[in-house]
Amino acid sequence: DAGITQSPRHKVTETGTPVTLRCHQTENHRYMYWYRQDPGHGLRLIHYSYGVKDTDKGEVSDGYSVSRSKTEDFLLTLESATSSQTSVYFCAISTGTLQSTEAFFGQGTRLTVV
């Protein structure tokens, strides 16, 4: 599992509340990613990080923010949760460089916004 831990694994929250999901890695990889997975859409990139305090947006970043204050932790925050953000969220890291870059995933967080 490349030492990736996501917490919480399941969460139910109310519309309008802020929510923070945590991704922790044990192997000091530089690149970390947050994806959401929805039926019919596959995995879509929300944000990614290429180092401490270095982050960039993915294709579905609206309504989400991220922070990376330590190499091992990458936090995803839903600033004001909406029902459209009900999804399964996956954290990933990538190892290697260029052609040898390989992605590894955490077990996911199932978030329900009611």
Q: Which is nearer to other proteins, 58 or 63 (CB)?
A: 58
| The Cα angle at residue 1 between residues 88 and 3, in degrees rounded to 5 | 100
For residues 47 and 92, what is the distance between their CA atoms, to the nearest angstrom?
11
48 lies in the binding site for other proteins (CB under 8 A): yes
Q: Which of residues 52-91 bind other proteins (CB under 8 A)?
A: 56, 58, 90
3 lies in the binding site for other proteins (CB under 8 A): no
83 phi, psi to nearest 5 deg: -65, -25
Could you give the C-alpha distances from 86 to 61, 76, 83, in angstroms and in order? 14, 14, 6
Q: Which is nearer to other proteins, 9 or 70 (CB)?
A: 9
1 lies in the binding site for other proteins (CB under 8 A): yes
Could you give the C-alpha distances from 81 to 2, 11, 76, in angstroms and in order? 30, 12, 12
Count residues near other proteins (CB under 8 A).
28
Using CB under 8 A, list all residues that contact other proteins: 1, 31, 33, 35, 40-45, 48, 50, 56, 58, 90, 92, 94, 98-108
